Amino acid sequence: MDDTIYDLATCLMNVYESKYELLLPLVLDIVNHKYKNVNIIEHLLDELLDLPTDKGEELFFFLCDYYYTISKESAIFYASLYRNMYKDDFDTKLKV
C-alpha cells in the first residue's frame, strides 16, 4: 500500500510539474509584453490556483502582482481566493 501511495504522489507531482511548464511561458509572455486581456489573465490565475506547488505559488504571485497594475479590485479578489485556499502562506508572500 505504501508503494501505491508513493507512486500516486509521484504521478501527481509529475502532472503538476508538466502543468507548471505549460503555464510558465504564457505568464511570462503576458507580463513581459504587458498584455491587458483580463480574460486570459484570470484564466491563468484560475489554473495557477489549482497548482499546489512552490513554483506554482510563485508564478501565481508574479501574475497577480502584474494584474494588480491593471485591475486592483480583481487582483485583490484573486488574492482573497488564494487566502481562502492557502491561508498559512498568504500574508507573508503576496504583495497586493
Query: If we measure between CA atoms, which residue out of 62, 54, 53, 96 comes closest to residue 77?
Result: 96
Q: What is the pLDDT at residue 52?
A: 86
Instruction: Provide the pLDDT confidence category of residue 92 given band limits of 50, 70 and 90.
Output: low
pLDDT digits (tens, 9 = 90+) for 66-90: 999 999 999 999 989 988 888 765 5
Domain extent at residue 15: 2-93
Number of structural domains (the chain) is 1
Mean pLDDT of the region 12-32: 96
Q: What is the pLDDT at residue 95?
A: 55
